[in-house]
Structure 1
Amino acid sequence: MDFEWDETKRLKNIKKHALDFIDAVVLFSNPHLTGLAKTIDAEERQLATGMIEDVCVNAVFTMRGSTIRIISMRRARDAEKQRYQKIFSS
């Protein structure tokens, strides 16, 4: 899997959410949920919910060929965490 992102956006995301786009590799390597977030200017944006260490996070991304382009990442809201845990808890 290849990843890309806008470096300025990555630095803003670290400041705002204390989450680094580099860690999206971990999110996509672990079990995760994906769904359509929205379409903007004909670009389909998807939402991935999964774990990075012990934190449940959401990443908005789009596919550029076979490359995952990270757009934003934040901690999952309570309802999003519950949905994830309901599916992946053992």
Structure 2
Amino acid sequence: MDFEWDEAKSEACFQARGFDFAYAARAFFDPDRVVQADTRHSYGEERFQVMGRIEQRLFVIVYTPRRDAIRIISARKANQREVRDYENRTRED
């Protein structure tokens, strides 16, 4: 799986949140990851959210599929509601 991102946004994420997009990409390899369409706004492209664990912490990554890679748009640690939703979904499967 190949990833791409805007380096300036990755650096801004690191400065604000303590991790960059290269670290956040590891969420895609969580076997229990949850993927859903991101329909909050009309972006002009398909966007998705993946919730996946990295080292026992849940992350939310917004991305768009490209022809040759997954383009990461944003990344953050999940909030309590998202953790609860993730745990409920993974228990159901």
TM-score, normalised via structure 2 length: 0.86
After TM superposition, which residue ranges in structure 1, 4 or more long, deviate above 4 angstroms? Answer: none
- Where does the alignment leave 5 or more consecutive residues of structure 2 unmatched? none
State the match for 2:14 in structure 1: 14
Give SS of 1:43's match. Answer: coil
| Identical counterparts, % of pairs | 34
Alignment of 1:1-90 (within 5 A): 1-30=1-30, 31-38=32-39, 39-40=42-43, 42-89=44-91
Task: Quote the offset at 1:27 in angstroms.
Answer: 0.7
More strand by share: 1
Aligned CA RMSD, in angstroms, stands at 1.6
**TM score, norm. by length of structure 1:** 0.88
Alignment gaps of 5+ in structure 1: none
Q: For residue 17 of structure 1, report the CA deviation from its aligned partner.
A: 1.6
* Count of aligned positions: 89
Deviation for aligned residue 1:69: 0.4
